[in-house]
Amino acid sequence: MTFKYLLVGALLVFTGCDSTIEAPPMSTPIPQAYPDYPDVPPDSQPTLPHDPPSYSFNVIEYQKVRNAGVVNGSSILGDIESHMPQSHIYRSSDIVTWAHETTHGLNSNIRNKHGGTGRVNAFYILNNKAVVMQEPNYTLRQLASAVPSNLRGMSYRLYLVQQQQYWNNEPLYVFDEATAYLNGAKVGFEVGHKVESELLQAFEMIGYALVLAEQTKSKEIGDFAHYLYKEAHALKQKWGPSSKIDAHVSKLATAFDLK
């Protein structure tokens, strides 16, 4: 088994065969009170690929800070890079890890810009679009207990148990990981890399988000989880058969009546 350690500034990444352990950037404050965050008027909501009128989550425009163009053969990585300063600390020699970690950094920037002093989280979903939502009155520890045993994937202990020391009061953290894995998988697929592990973990995190929606009775959380599920499923259709992914998707479809 080969292990790789990467310490960049305050970000610690430990990657093994099929998981990533990461502490949040020390420069990222976790707000403690809810702000007055205005909803984007319906007529200014960006159109999403899978965006029926019933979706309730708040989408904002998040403009580029520079034009990175195509990066290492990937226009999607170029999209992500274009929203970060050129000197950012999240780059990696592995293009999928690069996209994953930079999505974390970008989510942090959007959260800090739009969160005010409140418990707000934010997630970059490509094409100048981000989702901003308030944290529910619920904990990551509660979510970990609520996830059925058959939906506890290979990263369950890492992300829902070990990360409680950082994100216990921010259960929307599961979306931070879901968007990072999904963006990484999209970049990897674009350049011809094998992305089975990244896509599987995206589905796992989306499943945890669906449990969170049920536990908190939040239509907003549920709608965003369904949107990400459709995005991941569309990529899965392009990727092709995978016994591991197919088995987990089948469990999600049964548990949450997904179409």
Report d(CA 17, CA 28) in Å as an integer: 28
Tell me which residue has tokens 């998040």.
62
Q: What is the pTM of this model?
A: 0.82
Report d(CA 225, CA 231) in Å as an integer: 10
Is 91:81 a contact under the CB 8 Å cutoff? no
Report d(CA 137, CA 147) in Å as an integer: 17
> What is the average pLDDT across 45-72?
80
Q: How confident is the model at residue 115 (pLDDT cuts 50, 70, 90)?
A: confident
Report d(CA 21, CA 206) in Å as an integer: 18
List, for residues 137-175, the tens digit of each pLDDT value. 999 999 999 999 999 999 999 999 999 999 999 999 999
Q: Residue ranges of the alpha helices (H) in 23-157?
A: 75-81, 95-114, 140-146, 156
pLDDT given at position 190:
97
Q: How confident is the model at residue 33 (pLDDT cuts 50, 70, 90)?
A: very low
> What is the average pLDDT across 110-136?
90
- Collapsed DSSP state (helix, strand, coil) of residue 45: coil
